[in-house]
Protein backbone atom coordinates (compact mmCIF):
# COMPACT_ATOMS: atom_id res chain seq x y z
CA UNK A 1 0.00 0.00 0.00
CA UNK A 2 1.40 3.41 -0.97
CA UNK A 3 1.54 6.37 1.38
CA UNK A 4 -1.49 7.94 -0.22
CA UNK A 5 -3.56 4.88 0.65
CA UNK A 6 -3.75 3.49 -2.88
CA UNK A 7 -2.60 0.00 -3.82
CA UNK A 8 0.67 -0.11 -5.77
CA UNK A 9 0.21 -0.05 -9.52
CA UNK A 10 1.66 -2.45 -12.03
CA UNK A 11 4.63 -1.21 -14.08
CA UNK A 12 3.96 0.57 -17.34
CA UNK A 13 4.59 -1.40 -20.50
CA UNK A 14 4.74 -0.50 -24.17
CA UNK A 15 4.15 -3.78 -25.97
CA UNK A 16 1.49 -5.32 -23.80
CA UNK A 17 -0.02 -7.67 -26.36
CA UNK A 18 3.00 -9.61 -27.56
CA UNK A 19 0.86 -12.74 -27.59
CA UNK A 20 -0.44 -11.56 -30.96
CA UNK A 21 2.92 -11.53 -32.73
CA UNK A 22 3.29 -15.20 -33.59
CA UNK A 23 -0.09 -15.09 -35.28
CA UNK A 24 1.33 -12.72 -37.89
CA UNK A 25 2.94 -15.53 -39.85
CA UNK A 26 2.01 -19.19 -40.08
CA UNK A 27 5.22 -21.22 -40.32
CA UNK A 28 4.92 -24.49 -42.23
CA UNK A 29 7.84 -26.91 -41.62
CA UNK A 30 9.87 -27.39 -44.77
CA UNK A 31 8.21 -24.53 -46.64
CA UNK A 32 10.31 -21.58 -47.87
CA UNK A 33 9.75 -18.35 -45.90
CA UNK A 34 10.49 -14.93 -47.37
CA UNK A 35 11.92 -12.24 -45.09
CA UNK A 36 9.18 -9.82 -46.06
CA UNK A 37 6.39 -12.20 -45.07
CA UNK A 38 6.30 -10.43 -41.72
CA UNK A 39 5.69 -7.09 -43.45
CA UNK A 40 2.91 -8.61 -45.55
CA UNK A 41 1.32 -10.19 -42.50
CA UNK A 42 1.60 -6.92 -40.58
CA UNK A 43 -0.46 -5.19 -43.25
CA UNK A 44 -3.08 -7.93 -43.12
CA UNK A 45 -3.50 -7.38 -39.37
CA UNK A 46 -4.22 -3.64 -39.65
CA UNK A 47 -7.88 -3.87 -38.67
CA UNK A 48 -8.00 -0.20 -37.58
CA UNK A 49 -7.81 1.04 -41.18
CA UNK A 50 -11.14 -0.65 -41.86
CA UNK A 51 -12.70 0.59 -38.63
CA UNK A 52 -11.63 4.14 -39.41
CA UNK A 53 -12.90 3.90 -43.02
CA UNK A 54 -9.48 5.09 -44.16
CA UNK A 55 -9.91 3.89 -47.75
CA UNK A 56 -13.02 6.05 -48.16
CA UNK A 57 -11.15 9.08 -46.82
CA UNK A 58 -8.19 8.42 -49.13
CA UNK A 59 -10.42 9.11 -52.12
CA UNK A 60 -10.10 12.75 -51.13
CA UNK A 61 -6.68 13.02 -49.49
CA UNK A 62 -3.85 10.95 -48.05
CA UNK A 63 -2.40 13.78 -45.98
CA UNK A 64 -0.31 15.48 -48.66
CA UNK A 65 1.55 18.58 -47.49
CA UNK A 66 0.85 18.10 -43.77
CA UNK A 67 3.67 18.04 -41.22
CA UNK A 68 2.95 16.03 -38.06
CA UNK A 69 5.24 16.56 -35.08
CA UNK A 70 5.60 13.33 -33.09
CA UNK A 71 6.61 14.34 -29.55
CA UNK A 72 7.83 11.06 -28.15
CA UNK A 73 10.96 8.96 -27.59
CA UNK A 74 12.32 9.70 -31.06
CA UNK A 75 11.51 8.23 -34.47
CA UNK A 76 13.85 5.90 -36.35
CA UNK A 77 13.97 7.16 -39.97
CA UNK A 78 15.64 3.90 -41.06
CA UNK A 79 12.46 1.85 -40.81
CA UNK A 80 11.40 0.93 -44.37
CA UNK A 81 7.81 1.95 -43.70
CA UNK A 82 8.96 5.50 -42.88
CA UNK A 83 11.62 5.92 -45.56
CA UNK A 84 11.83 9.54 -46.68
CA UNK A 85 9.03 10.63 -44.36
CA UNK A 86 10.93 11.69 -41.22
CA UNK A 87 12.80 14.82 -40.27
CA UNK A 88 14.73 14.33 -37.04
CA UNK A 89 14.44 17.32 -34.72
CA UNK A 90 16.11 18.10 -31.38
CA UNK A 91 16.28 16.10 -28.17
CA UNK A 92 14.89 17.99 -25.17
CA UNK A 93 15.19 15.16 -22.65
CA UNK A 94 18.58 16.16 -21.25
CA UNK A 95 19.83 12.63 -21.96
CA UNK A 96 23.49 12.77 -22.90
CA UNK A 97 23.89 9.02 -23.27
CA UNK A 98 21.53 8.32 -26.15
CA UNK A 99 21.61 4.66 -27.14
CA UNK A 100 19.86 3.18 -30.16
CA UNK A 101 18.87 0.28 -27.93
CA UNK A 102 16.74 2.51 -25.73
CA UNK A 103 15.57 5.29 -28.01
CA UNK A 104 13.03 5.53 -30.78
CA UNK A 105 10.92 2.41 -30.31
CA UNK A 106 7.70 3.95 -29.01
CA UNK A 107 8.07 7.04 -31.20
CA UNK A 108 8.65 4.92 -34.31
CA UNK A 109 5.54 2.90 -33.53
CA UNK A 110 3.43 6.04 -33.25
CA UNK A 111 4.88 7.63 -36.39
CA UNK A 112 4.10 4.51 -38.42
CA UNK A 113 0.45 4.60 -37.35
CA UNK A 114 0.22 8.23 -38.42
CA UNK A 115 2.23 8.33 -41.64
CA UNK A 116 3.58 4.86 -42.43
CA UNK A 117 4.02 4.37 -46.16
CA UNK A 118 4.53 0.64 -46.24
CA UNK A 119 7.26 -0.77 -48.46
CA UNK A 120 7.93 -3.29 -51.21
CA UNK A 121 6.17 -3.63 -54.54
CA UNK A 122 3.33 -1.09 -54.69
CA UNK A 123 4.01 -0.43 -50.97
CA UNK A 124 1.93 -3.52 -50.23
CA UNK A 125 3.97 -4.67 -47.22
CA UNK A 126 4.46 -3.22 -43.77
CA UNK A 127 2.43 -0.69 -41.84
CA UNK A 128 0.31 1.87 -43.63
CA UNK A 129 -0.54 4.95 -41.60
CA UNK A 130 -3.86 6.76 -41.56
CA UNK A 131 -2.25 9.67 -43.45
CA UNK A 132 0.43 7.91 -45.54
CA UNK A 133 1.44 11.04 -47.46
CA UNK A 134 1.96 13.22 -44.39
CA UNK A 135 5.48 14.00 -43.19
CA UNK A 136 6.83 13.47 -39.68
CA UNK A 137 8.90 15.81 -37.52
CA UNK A 138 10.45 13.81 -34.70
CA UNK A 139 11.03 15.69 -31.44
CA UNK A 140 12.38 13.66 -28.52
CA UNK A 141 10.75 14.79 -25.27
CA UNK A 142 10.81 11.64 -23.15
CA UNK A 143 12.64 8.35 -22.64
CA UNK A 144 11.62 4.78 -23.25
CA UNK A 145 10.11 3.24 -20.15
CA UNK A 146 12.95 0.72 -19.85
CA UNK A 147 15.73 3.24 -20.45
CA UNK A 148 18.19 3.12 -17.51
CA UNK A 149 18.75 6.86 -17.95
CA UNK A 150 15.25 7.43 -16.57
CA UNK A 151 16.44 6.92 -12.99
CA UNK A 152 19.37 9.26 -13.47
CA UNK A 153 17.13 12.01 -14.85
CA UNK A 154 14.30 11.49 -12.35
CA UNK A 155 13.48 14.65 -10.45
CA UNK A 156 15.00 16.96 -13.06
CA UNK A 157 12.54 19.32 -14.65
CA UNK A 158 13.59 20.03 -18.25
CA UNK A 159 10.18 21.25 -19.47
CA UNK A 160 10.87 18.97 -22.41
CA UNK A 161 7.24 18.70 -23.51
CA UNK A 162 6.66 22.46 -23.39
CA UNK A 163 9.86 23.05 -25.36
CA UNK A 164 8.87 20.39 -27.86
CA UNK A 165 5.45 21.93 -28.46
CA UNK A 166 6.96 25.35 -29.07
CA UNK A 167 9.70 23.96 -31.32
CA UNK A 168 7.22 22.00 -33.42
CA UNK A 169 4.99 25.06 -33.75
CA UNK A 170 7.86 27.31 -34.79
CA UNK A 171 9.07 24.77 -37.35
CA UNK A 172 5.87 24.42 -39.32
CA UNK A 173 3.97 21.59 -37.67
CA UNK A 174 0.30 21.43 -38.64
CA UNK A 175 -0.48 18.68 -36.12
CA UNK A 176 1.24 17.71 -32.86
CA UNK A 177 0.81 14.12 -31.69
CA UNK A 178 1.56 13.32 -28.02
CA UNK A 179 1.16 9.69 -27.01
CA UNK A 180 2.43 10.41 -23.52
CA UNK A 181 1.38 11.73 -20.14
CA UNK A 182 2.56 12.91 -16.79
CA UNK A 183 4.34 15.87 -18.36
CA UNK A 184 6.95 17.39 -16.09
CA UNK A 185 6.29 14.78 -13.43
CA UNK A 186 3.05 15.87 -11.79
CA UNK A 187 -0.53 14.86 -12.37
CA UNK A 188 -1.64 18.50 -12.18
CA UNK A 189 -0.06 19.67 -15.42
CA UNK A 190 2.27 22.63 -15.54
CA UNK A 191 2.04 26.31 -16.44
CA UNK A 192 4.85 25.94 -19.00
CA UNK A 193 3.03 23.14 -20.79
CA UNK A 194 -0.34 24.86 -20.76
CA UNK A 195 1.19 28.05 -22.10
CA UNK A 196 2.92 26.06 -24.84
CA UNK A 197 -0.39 24.43 -25.78
CA UNK A 198 -2.01 27.86 -26.03
CA UNK A 199 0.96 29.12 -28.06
CA UNK A 200 0.49 26.29 -30.58
CA UNK A 201 -3.29 26.60 -30.87
CA UNK A 202 -3.07 30.36 -31.33
CA UNK A 203 -0.82 29.67 -34.33
CA UNK A 204 -3.14 27.20 -35.99
CA UNK A 205 -1.71 23.90 -34.75
CA UNK A 206 -4.00 21.00 -33.78
CA UNK A 207 -2.84 19.00 -30.75
CA UNK A 208 -3.77 15.36 -30.04
CA UNK A 209 -2.92 13.37 -26.89
CA UNK A 210 -3.63 9.97 -25.35
CA UNK A 211 -5.98 9.88 -22.39
CA UNK A 212 -4.12 7.27 -20.32
CA UNK A 213 -4.17 3.56 -19.57
CA UNK A 214 -4.98 3.40 -15.86
CA UNK A 215 -8.74 3.37 -16.38
CA UNK A 216 -9.05 0.11 -14.46
CA UNK A 217 -6.91 1.28 -11.56
CA UNK A 218 -6.86 4.95 -10.63
CA UNK A 219 -8.35 6.56 -13.74
CA UNK A 220 -6.34 9.70 -13.10
CA UNK A 221 -6.63 12.97 -14.95
CA UNK A 222 -3.69 13.01 -17.33
CA UNK A 223 -1.85 15.79 -19.09
CA UNK A 224 -1.34 16.92 -21.83
CA UNK A 225 -4.67 15.30 -22.76
CA UNK A 226 -6.53 17.34 -20.13
CA UNK A 227 -5.32 20.76 -21.30
CA UNK A 228 -8.11 22.81 -22.90
CA UNK A 229 -8.05 22.67 -26.69
CA UNK A 230 -6.25 19.31 -26.92
CA UNK A 231 -8.05 16.40 -28.60
CA UNK A 232 -7.99 13.73 -25.86
CA UNK A 233 -8.23 10.18 -27.18
CA UNK A 234 -9.31 6.92 -25.54
CA UNK A 235 -9.22 3.39 -26.96
CA UNK A 236 -11.61 0.81 -28.37
CA UNK A 237 -11.04 -2.81 -29.34
CA UNK A 238 -12.01 -4.65 -32.54
CA UNK A 239 -15.62 -4.82 -31.33
CA UNK A 240 -15.52 -1.03 -30.85
CA UNK A 241 -15.92 -1.47 -27.12
CA UNK A 242 -13.91 0.56 -24.63
CA UNK A 243 -11.40 -1.72 -22.84
CA UNK A 244 -10.98 -1.49 -19.09
CA UNK A 245 -7.56 0.16 -19.32
CA UNK A 246 -8.76 3.19 -21.29
CA UNK A 247 -9.22 6.22 -19.02
CA UNK A 248 -12.71 7.59 -18.62
CA UNK A 249 -12.82 11.35 -18.19
CA UNK A 250 -15.23 14.16 -18.98
CA UNK A 251 -12.61 15.91 -21.11
CA UNK A 252 -12.30 12.87 -23.43
CA UNK A 253 -12.91 13.94 -27.03
CA UNK A 254 -13.16 10.65 -28.94
CA UNK A 255 -12.05 7.03 -28.96
CA UNK A 256 -10.13 5.13 -31.65
CA UNK A 257 -8.59 1.67 -32.19
CA UNK A 258 -6.17 0.85 -29.38
CA UNK A 259 -6.13 -2.94 -28.94
CA UNK A 260 -4.01 -5.53 -30.81
CA UNK A 261 -2.44 -2.75 -32.86
CA UNK A 262 0.38 -3.68 -35.26
CA UNK A 263 3.00 -0.96 -35.66
CA UNK A 264 6.63 -0.45 -36.66
CA UNK A 265 9.33 -0.95 -34.05
CA UNK A 266 13.08 -1.02 -34.71
CA UNK A 267 14.57 -1.05 -38.22
CA UNK A 268 12.58 -3.61 -40.20
CA UNK A 269 10.66 -5.00 -37.21
CA UNK A 270 7.13 -4.76 -35.85
CA UNK A 271 5.30 -4.98 -32.55
CA UNK A 272 1.72 -5.56 -31.43
CA UNK A 273 0.32 -3.76 -28.41
CA UNK A 274 -2.62 -2.25 -26.57
CA UNK A 275 -3.02 1.32 -25.36
CA UNK A 276 -4.37 4.79 -25.90
CA UNK A 277 -1.00 5.76 -27.37
CA UNK A 278 -1.94 3.98 -30.59
CA UNK A 279 -5.44 5.44 -30.51
CA UNK A 280 -4.07 8.98 -30.25
CA UNK A 281 -1.65 8.42 -33.10
CA UNK A 282 -4.47 7.26 -35.35
CA UNK A 283 -6.57 10.29 -34.50
CA UNK A 284 -3.54 12.44 -35.31
CA UNK A 285 -3.63 10.72 -38.69
CA UNK A 286 -7.32 11.57 -39.14
CA UNK A 287 -6.59 15.17 -38.15
CA UNK A 288 -3.83 15.21 -40.77
CA UNK A 289 -6.33 14.20 -43.44
CA UNK A 290 -8.64 17.03 -42.37
CA UNK A 291 -5.76 19.53 -42.34
CA UNK A 292 -4.66 18.45 -45.81
CA UNK A 293 -8.12 18.71 -47.31
CA UNK A 294 -9.32 21.80 -45.42
CA UNK A 295 -6.26 23.82 -44.33
CA UNK A 296 -8.36 26.95 -43.76
CA UNK A 297 -10.13 25.52 -40.71
CA UNK A 298 -9.09 26.62 -37.23
CA UNK A 299 -7.90 24.12 -34.61
CA UNK A 300 -11.23 24.40 -32.79
CA UNK A 301 -13.14 23.61 -35.98
CA UNK A 302 -10.90 20.67 -36.80
CA UNK A 303 -11.49 19.34 -33.31
CA UNK A 304 -15.25 19.73 -33.66
CA UNK A 305 -15.19 18.03 -37.08
CA UNK A 306 -13.38 15.04 -35.56
CA UNK A 307 -15.73 14.94 -32.56
CA UNK A 308 -18.87 15.14 -34.68
CA UNK A 309 -17.54 12.83 -37.39
CA UNK A 310 -17.98 9.73 -35.25
CA UNK A 311 -19.87 6.45 -35.08
CA UNK A 312 -21.47 4.92 -31.99
CA UNK A 313 -22.16 8.31 -30.51
CA UNK A 314 -23.46 8.15 -26.92
CA UNK A 315 -27.18 8.80 -26.57
CA UNK A 316 -26.41 11.99 -24.64
CA UNK A 317 -23.90 13.13 -27.27
CA UNK A 318 -20.94 12.63 -24.94
CA UNK A 319 -19.85 10.44 -22.07
CA UNK A 320 -16.68 9.78 -20.13
CA UNK A 321 -15.99 6.40 -21.76
CA UNK A 322 -16.56 7.13 -25.46
CA UNK A 323 -16.26 10.89 -25.53
CA UNK A 324 -18.20 11.92 -28.63
CA UNK A 325 -17.89 8.45 -30.16
CA UNK A 326 -15.61 6.28 -32.31
CA UNK A 327 -13.60 8.27 -34.82
CA UNK A 328 -14.30 7.79 -38.53
CA UNK A 329 -11.96 9.43 -41.05
CA UNK A 330 -14.63 9.69 -43.75
CA UNK A 331 -17.18 11.28 -41.43
CA UNK A 332 -14.60 13.74 -40.06
CA UNK A 333 -13.94 14.94 -43.61
CA UNK A 334 -17.67 15.33 -44.21
CA UNK A 335 -18.03 17.46 -41.09
CA UNK A 336 -14.98 19.53 -42.05
CA UNK A 337 -16.50 20.23 -45.46
CA UNK A 338 -19.64 21.56 -43.79
CA UNK A 339 -17.59 23.92 -41.64
CA UNK A 340 -15.71 25.11 -44.71
CA UNK A 341 -18.91 25.89 -46.61
CA UNK A 342 -20.32 27.81 -43.64
CA UNK A 343 -17.16 29.83 -43.15
CA UNK A 344 -16.76 30.72 -46.80
CA UNK A 345 -20.42 31.79 -46.97
CA UNK A 346 -20.03 33.91 -43.86
CA UNK A 347 -16.75 35.42 -45.03
CA UNK A 348 -15.01 34.77 -41.72
CA UNK A 349 -11.68 33.50 -43.00
CA UNK A 350 -8.56 35.45 -42.07
CA UNK A 351 -4.90 34.45 -42.42
CA UNK A 352 -3.46 32.42 -39.57
CA UNK A 353 -0.12 31.05 -38.45
CA UNK A 354 1.42 27.97 -40.14
CA UNK A 355 -0.56 28.58 -43.30
CA UNK A 356 -4.03 28.07 -41.84
CA UNK A 357 -6.97 30.35 -41.16
CA UNK A 358 -8.78 31.33 -38.01
CA UNK A 359 -12.10 32.78 -37.02
CA UNK A 360 -11.55 36.49 -36.49
CA UNK A 361 -14.56 36.77 -34.18
CA UNK A 362 -13.91 33.92 -31.77
CA UNK A 363 -10.89 33.20 -29.58
CA UNK A 364 -9.34 29.76 -30.07
CA UNK A 365 -8.41 29.06 -26.48
CA UNK A 366 -9.86 29.80 -23.08
CA UNK A 367 -7.17 29.45 -20.47
CA UNK A 368 -8.00 27.64 -17.25
CA UNK A 369 -5.84 26.87 -14.25
CA UNK A 370 -3.49 23.99 -15.01
CA UNK A 371 -4.45 22.19 -11.83
CA UNK A 372 -8.21 22.60 -12.07
CA UNK A 373 -10.02 19.57 -10.62
CA UNK A 374 -6.78 17.61 -10.39
CA UNK A 375 -5.95 15.18 -7.58
CA UNK A 376 -3.44 16.45 -5.06
CA UNK A 377 0.06 15.00 -5.07
CA UNK A 378 1.02 13.49 -1.73
CA UNK A 379 4.27 12.08 -0.44
CA UNK A 380 4.81 8.68 -1.96
CA UNK A 381 2.96 9.58 -5.16
CA UNK A 382 4.42 9.16 -8.66
CA UNK A 383 8.12 10.14 -8.81
CA UNK A 384 9.18 13.16 -10.82
CA UNK A 385 10.62 13.03 -14.32
CA UNK A 386 9.28 12.96 -17.87
CA UNK A 387 7.32 9.87 -18.83
CA UNK A 388 5.15 8.48 -21.55
CA UNK A 389 2.43 5.99 -20.87
CA UNK A 390 3.66 3.07 -22.93
CA UNK A 391 1.61 0.45 -24.67
CA UNK A 392 -1.13 -0.45 -22.26
CA UNK A 393 -1.98 -2.66 -19.32
CA UNK A 394 0.77 -5.05 -18.22
CA UNK A 395 0.62 -8.61 -19.48
CA UNK A 396 0.51 -11.57 -17.12
CA UNK A 397 4.05 -12.89 -17.41
CA UNK A 398 3.25 -15.88 -15.23
CA UNK A 399 0.87 -17.55 -17.63
CA UNK A 400 2.13 -20.62 -19.54
CA UNK A 401 0.55 -19.31 -22.73
CA UNK A 402 2.74 -16.21 -22.66
CA UNK A 403 5.88 -18.31 -22.26
CA UNK A 404 4.83 -20.54 -25.16
CA UNK A 405 4.08 -17.49 -27.29
CA UNK A 406 7.52 -16.07 -26.58
CA UNK A 407 9.12 -19.31 -27.73
CA UNK A 408 6.98 -19.34 -30.86
CA UNK A 409 7.91 -15.75 -31.63
CA UNK A 410 11.62 -16.52 -31.39
CA UNK A 411 11.12 -19.44 -33.79
CA UNK A 412 9.30 -17.22 -36.27
CA UNK A 413 12.01 -14.57 -36.06
CA UNK A 414 14.79 -17.09 -36.73
CA UNK A 415 12.98 -18.62 -39.67
CA UNK A 416 12.19 -15.26 -41.23
CA UNK A 417 15.55 -13.70 -40.63
CA UNK A 418 14.02 -10.53 -39.30
CA UNK A 419 13.96 -8.80 -35.97
CA UNK A 420 10.77 -8.75 -33.94
CA UNK A 421 11.41 -7.18 -30.58
CA UNK A 422 10.26 -8.94 -27.43
CA UNK A 423 10.29 -6.17 -24.89
CA UNK A 424 8.02 -5.22 -22.07
CA UNK A 425 9.70 -1.81 -21.83
CA UNK A 426 8.65 -1.48 -18.24
CA UNK A 427 8.78 2.00 -16.78
CA UNK A 428 9.85 3.33 -13.44
CA UNK A 429 6.59 5.22 -13.06
CA UNK A 430 3.56 3.59 -11.48
CA UNK A 431 1.11 4.97 -13.99
CA UNK A 432 -1.31 3.49 -16.46
CA UNK A 433 0.05 3.45 -19.99
CA UNK A 434 -0.89 5.01 -23.28
**Helical axes 37-44 vs 400-416, angle rounded to 10°:** 130
Nearest to 217 by CA among 184, 193, 236, 243: 243
> Is residue 239 a contact partner of residue 51, using CB atoms and an 8 Å limit?
no
> Is 277 assigned a catalytic role?
yes
> Is 106 assigned a catalytic role?
yes
Give the separation between CA 262 and CA 239, rounded to whole angstroms.
17
Catalytic residue among 37, 72, 146, 265: 72
How does DSSP assign 239-304, residue by residue?
A: TSPPPTTS---TT--EEEE-SSEEEE-STT-EEEE-SHHHHHHHHHHHHHHHHHH-TTS-HHHHHH
DSSP assignment letter at 211 = -
Catalytic residue among 103, 263, 277, 298: 277
Helix (H/G/I), strand (E/B), else coil: 162:
helix
> Is 210 assigned a catalytic role?
no
Catalytic residue among 79, 105, 106, 324: 106
Is the N-terminal amide bond of 224 cis, ω within 30° of 0? yes
- Report the 10 Å Cβ neighbour count for 87: 15
Give the separation between CA 88 and CA 97, rounded to whole angstroms.
17
Q: What is the dihedral of CA 14, 19, 20, 25, to 10 degrees?
A: 120
Supply the residues annotated as catalytic.
72, 106, 277
Amino acid sequence: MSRDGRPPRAPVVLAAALFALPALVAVVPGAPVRADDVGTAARAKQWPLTALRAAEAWRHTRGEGVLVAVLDTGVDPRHPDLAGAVTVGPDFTGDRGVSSRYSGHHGTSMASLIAGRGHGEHDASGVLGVAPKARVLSVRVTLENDDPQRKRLAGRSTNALAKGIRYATDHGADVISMSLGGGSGTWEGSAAEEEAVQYAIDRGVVLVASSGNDGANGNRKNFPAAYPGVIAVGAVDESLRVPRFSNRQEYLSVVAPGARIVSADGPGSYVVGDGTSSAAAMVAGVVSLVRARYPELSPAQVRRAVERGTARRPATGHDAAYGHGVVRADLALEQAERYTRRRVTAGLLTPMGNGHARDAHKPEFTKTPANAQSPAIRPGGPPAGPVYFGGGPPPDDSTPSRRLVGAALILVSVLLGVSIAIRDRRGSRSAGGC
